[in-house]
Amino acid sequence: MAHVRAHPRRNAFTLIELLVVIAVIALLIGILLPSLGEARRSGRTTICLSNMKELGTATQSYTADYQDKLYAFTISSKTASLLTYPDLIAQAAGAGNNALEAHSAQAIDIIRRRTGRDAASLPQINGWIPDVLYTHLVLQDYLASRLPEKLVVCPEDRNRNLWQSDPIGFMQGAFNPAPNPLSPRWPYSSTYEHVYCHYAPDRCDNGPGVTQATAHNLYYFVNPTNVTDPGAYLGRRKVTEISFLSQKVQMYDLQVRHRGKAQFYYGYADAVAPLLFYDASVRVLRTGPARDPLENGVTIPIDANSGWDPSTPNSTSPLMVQYTPAAWETPIRGGGSSVSLPGFYRWSRRGLKGVDYGGTEPK
């Protein structure tokens, strides 16, 4: 007699049950994704704050080792022999009273030594202003950093992070958007800018110095020939010249990157961004006047003072900066090609002797 083997009954989802499971999973994903996005954003903000804090701590170490001097480019035509590479020594030696050419040679000298690149892949560069976006190179040279260094780039600065990832590919046009024309220096630039008085005199109405030019990324160097030592009007500032260490901004980001999904220019009144102060503290503060005394139940700190124009220091009006963004910079709110906004701490009144936050501007 044949035996028939009984097969156990298999349990299976019905179509309706499967759809319910999918719907529950989709609901959970919808709930969790904003939280995960906020956690990632918070993590990137923490990294940015940590970067600035480390730069502030390194600044204090530098001033302690170098007789209270603030790090800055200081090579001039008279000290060109301190550089490493013959072509850069020649560039600095021939600079005369043009400190920018000597500082350019110093910047490229640092990059070559810290990257291992040679003159063929990183030639000398003429006609640029290294002090604005590259002063950090002096500090990185002091720290013996290998370049490019993530420390000087905000994790939300997508373009610079890409440029850093492949400096050679950058020059081959691998990244878009990118500055036009391309220059091999850009992958070594910093997200964080120094205030002008870190490397230039507080005022330039009666002597050499620096002030804003026609656009946010352009500068005037005023009266550069009115000095005995070529290049002495740039660099050579000391921490002892700072009157209010905890109220004077040292470094800032030209873009607000940690407030919501859209990044925007720091000069808007509602901008809130991380700032490094000369006492090595890092704080997230609002740039302009607050519309509401409270934000999410937290009292908003005192806003930034509006600043001045170093070339006309007796004027009570702040220096207005014309923000004309390139393709790789944040667009203007509401469209347009340019907008005029106050300089705030970028051009703080009285320079290193001034106050940016926590008090009125000294007269």
Bridge partners, residue 282, by sequence: 276
Question: Reduced to 3 states, what is the DSSP secondary structure of residue 6?
Answer: coil
Of 51, 125, 128, give the one whose Cα is nearest residue 91: 125
Q: Give the mean pLDDT of the chain.
A: 87
What are the two backbone dihedrals, phi and then psi, of residue 250, each rounded to the nearest 5 degrees?
-100, -50
Taking residues 104-131, report their average pLDDT. Answer: 94
Which residues lie below 8 Å from residue 202, measured CB to CB, with a gap of 6+? 209, 310, 350, 351, 352, 353, 354
Residue among 90, 64, 350 at smallest CA distance from 196: 350
Distance, CA of 336 to CA of 263 (rounded, Å)? 16
The pLDDT of residue 252 is above 90: yes
Is the pLDDT confidence value at 315 over 50? yes
Kindly report the pTM of this predicted structure.
0.86
Of 14-18, 51-55, 293-297, the one with minimum mean pLDDT is 293-297
Summarize pLDDT for 149-205 with one digit per residue, the tens: 999 999 999 999 999 999 999 999 999 999 989 999 999 999 999 999 999 999 998
The 10s digit of each residue's pLDDT in 121-160 is 999 998 888 998 899 999 999 999 999 999 999 999 999 9
- Using the predicted structure, report yes or no on whether residue 333 has a pLDDT greater than 60: yes
- In the DSSP assignment, the letter for residue 219 is E
| DSSP structural state of residue 332 | P
